[in-house]
Amino acid sequence: MKIAAIQMVSSPDMGRNLARARHWLEQAAAEGAQLAALPEYFCLMGQRDTDKLALAERLGEGPIQRMLAEAARDLKLWIIGGTLPLATPDPLRVRNSCLVHGPDGRLAARYDKLHLFCYDNGRERYDEARVLEAGETPVVAEAGGLRIGLSVCYDLRFPELYRAMGAPAPLDLISVPAAFTHTTGQAHWELLLRARAVENIAYLIAPAQGGLHENGRRTWGHTMIVDPWGEVLACLPEGEGLVTAEVDAARLAQVRQQLPALQHRRL
């Protein structure tokens, strides 16, 4: 299966962001991709964390979900829809949710981000828990014959999440839509992505926000696709665009046969 990871530099203008996302999904389909993944917060990078509250949608309703469903159906794509804000009973909290749509446009999976980012180095400060409600359950999506472990950004730092998802059966692909800060991304992004691919012997797709945003925030970018040996198959350092690669079932089987580490776990 050919997969595409889309990088964006999203703005505070939701309409403009949705149009750019649709453009890149169309480009992914034109390049022969059967699955395309958008970055975290593809629909909005607001001036304030609370801006996302005004855009919160109920599951199955709203312009963001409508764009994803229509694009999947029109383009005959599996779409891993980055993240969007889904409403909760608390008007001051939303879920940061990743929705997967199939080529028929139907919702195939929903994952709510489990781990909420918090960072303060004295110059930059982030605390997602101020406006986000954490998810509760790991989710594996079945898409085009692939077992896909869904995760979002900060989840990447918690290897036990991927172990839990791969316990019933190995994952074929790990998905990590992200908006890593430039500071943390420069230090840890590639290191963590390659480690998660290697230790789970799985392909990994990591579509990212990548550049200087209108709200002044700078994200690291470096959208990547990594193979089960940890080799970076494709990378886009900065700016809008996409990268593609093949998920090769034979390559996956070969690595697992040569190094059967998943069978050697004792804990």
Q: Which residues are catalytic?
A: 40, 113, 153
**Residue 174 three-state SS:** strand
Distance CA 60, CA 21 (A): 19
The values of phi and psi at residue 121, to 5°, are -105, 15
For 79, phi then psi, to 5°, come to: -120, 125
Report residue 195: phi and psi, to 5°.
-65, -45
Give the three-state DSSP class for 207: coil
- Residue 58 buriedness (CB in 10 A; 0-12 / 13-18 / 19+): exposed
Contact 95, 85 (CB under 8 A): yes
Report the alpha-carbon distance of residue 242 to residue 233 in Å, rounded: 13
Q: How many CA atoms lie within 13 A of 9 on its CB side?
A: 20
Q: Please tell me the total number of residues recorded for the chain in this structure.
A: 267
Tell me the three state secondary structure of residue 86.
strand
- Alpha helices per DSSP H over the chain: 14-30, 63-75, 159-166, 182-200, 249-258
Q: Which helix (H) or strand (E) holds 205?
A: strand 203-206
Cα 107 from chain centroid? 16
